[in-house]
Amino acid sequence: MKIAFIGLGNMGLPMALNLLKAGHLVTGFDLVKSQLDLFTAAGGAIAPDLKTAAKDAEVLISMLPASKHVEGLYLGEEGLLANTNPKTLLIDCSTISPKVAQAVATKAKAKGFAMIDAPVSGGTAGAQAGTLTFMVGGDASDVERAHPLLEKMGKNIFHAGASGAGQTVKVCNNMILGIQMLGTSEALRLGIANGIDPKVLSDIISKSSGRNWALELYNPCPGVMENVPSSKGYAGGFGVDLMLKDLGLAVENAEGLGASVPLGELAKQLYETHSKAGNGQLDFSSVFNLK
* Candidate list 170, 232, 245, 291, residue with the active-site label: 170
pLDDT at position 73: 97
Number of neighbours of residue 158 by Cβ within 10 angstroms: 15
Question: pLDDT tens for residues 85-104?
Answer: 999 999 999 999 999 999 99
Whole-angstrom distance, CA of residue 233 vs CA of residue 235: 5
For residue 117, the number of C-alpha atoms closer than 13 Å in the C-beta half-sphere is: 31
Interstrand relation of 132-137 and 120-121 (parallel, antiparallel or unpaired): antiparallel
What are the chain's domains? 2-162 (3.40.50.720), 168-289 (1.10.1040.10)
The pTM score is 0.90
| Residue 239 per-residue DSSP state | B
CA distance 113 to 129: 30
**pLDDT computed for residue 123 by the predictor:** 85
CB-based contacts of 17: which residues, under 8 Å, 6+ apart?
Answer: 39, 42, 44
Label the pairing between strands 114-117 and 120-121. unpaired
Q: Which residues does residue 26 pair with via DSSP β-bridges, in sequence order?
A: 3
Integer-rounded Cα Rg, in Å, for the chain is: 19
pLDDT beneath 50: ranges in the chain? none
> Contact 101/167 with Cβ under 8 angstroms?
yes
State the Cα–Cα distance between residues 281 and 245, nearest whole angstrom: 12
pLDDT of residue 258: 96
Rounded Cα gap, residues 135 and 21, in angstroms: 23
Question: Is residue 170 flagged as an active site residue?
Answer: yes
In whole angstroms, what is the distance from residue 63 CA to residue 8 CA?
7
Whether 39 contacts 28, CB under 8 Å: yes
Q: What are phi and psi of 143, to 5 degrees?
A: -65, -40
